Amino acid sequence: MIGAPLLVAMLVACTAGEDLSPSIRARLLKLGPLPAVPQDPTNRYSDDPKAAEFGRVLFYDKRLSKNNEVSCATCHQPDRAFSDGQPLAKGIEVGTRHTPSILNAAYQRWLTWDGSADSLWSQALHPFTNPREMGLTHQELVGRVASIPELRINYEKIFGPMPQGQDDPRVMTACANLGKAIAAFERRLVTGPAPFDRWLAQLRTGNEAPTDFFNAASKRGAILFVGKADCVRCHAGPTLSDGEFHLIGVPQADGAAPTDRGRLQGIEKIRKDPFNAAGSHSDAPEGSQAKITRSTAPEGTTWGSFRTPSLRTAAASPPFMHLGQLASLEAVIDFYNTLQGATNLDHHSETVLQPLNFTAQEQADLVSFLNSLQGSLPKQSETGDPKGGAPQETSQSDKK
């Protein structure tokens, strides 16, 4: 029986006063710390150190692209929180969406903005065959790995013999193995405790006072986040994402009508993806994720919806939104504050998303809180380019 005025009244009651109310405290404590990286039953190599190290090599190898100039790390750059700082990704060509950070991606059920992948390993294969990214076919990818001795040797140590030629039916299995190796590496891309996590640890002891690493502004922002702003409605749990898809109407930079079908396209793609969790290359085709993938269905709100991003790396990976159209956290908060330009082609004037109408101080507090979510980056020695980032030589066969 709740209506908007009643909800606001309840939340205002929660945020009044200096001490945290029990409900605010309970909501905050659900936001951290990050638990251990969840198991991935669809990938039997997910925790294999050799596979992870091989995946790391693959991740940085530009020879696995059509023009020998693009690797996974071209867009997922370690010094940019494994994003690229650009509005739109650029591989062989400029892409159609922003590069999301893949830090903490191992916690996500759905990968990519539209959830067109349901595991780390199946996602890892998408860029290889995207003409705008790396531009190969599955056969070409396996062929290139087979033609590079160091890669071939490493592959066969882990997965057994490589397919013999592009017509070998094991090519797709080899492809899946390459994805699984990269996924094993990407499971290392996890952030360490953030200032907010440290403050939560303190809060669990009963001390809710701000600290030098989590100041009063951050605390006020945190209270707004789970209270009046109700950001936690979608940015829930330790990843600060519900992992699902929402249509928030953020306008395109050019103000034109949106054309990206988002999750609707993602569902179509994942149903056809031979590497999905329910497919023959999955190591758990009857597992939990497989059931979800099979049952995923579009509904009226699916068009143009995109996956809720985790906020744990937001401070280090601007710009924001699926087109990178908002340059800063301030711009993001400003959008939610006014919903200026938000596109609504529907015929309902009521919506969950209402302008926050916050003061400048409140907006600054929210930004301060978001900055406090940035945890330490993974060790360069375990996640950086194994060749030290030096330009990679192109094989003669590739030059041809």
Residues of the shown chain interacting with another protein in the complex, contacts defined by CB under 8 A: 1-6, 9-10, 13, 30, 232-234, 236-237, 242-245, 249, 251, 255-259, 261, 288, 291-292, 295-304, 339-353, 355
Counting Cα atoms < 13 Å in the Cβ hemisphere of 332 gives: 21
Closest separation in Å from C-beta 332 to another protein: 16
Residues 252, 324: Cα–Cα separation, whole Å: 9
Count Cβ atoms below 10 Å from residue 205 Cβ, excluding itself.
7
What's the DSSP call for residue 76? S
Q: How many CB atoms lie within 10 A of CB 28?
A: 22
Q: Report the nearest approach of another protein to the CB of residue 134 (Å).
A: 25
Closest approach of another protein to the CB of residue 146, in Å: 37
| Total Cβ atoms within 10 A of residue 388 | 7
DSSP string, 234-252: TS-TTTT--SSEE---PPP
Q: What residues have CB less than 8 Å from 346, skipping those under 6 apart? A: none
Compare residues 188 and 294 and give the one whose CB is closer to another protein: 294
Nearer to another protein, 3 or 149 (CB): 3
Residue closer to another protein (CB basis): 149 or 255: 255
Smallest distance from the beta carbon of 203 to another protein, in angstroms? 18
Torsion of CA 54, 57, 59, 63, to 10 degrees: -120
**Residue (185 or 335) nearer to another protein, CB:** 335
Nearer to another protein, 58 or 232 (CB): 232
For residue 106, which of 183, 206, 204, 17 has the smallest C-alpha distance? 183
Site of tokens 């605390």: 219
Nearer to another protein, 243 or 384 (CB): 243
Q: How far is the CB of 259 from another protein (least distance, A)?
A: 6
Angle, in degrees to the nearest 10, between helices 216-226 and 195-204? 80
Q: How far is the CB of 291 from another protein (least distance, A)?
A: 5
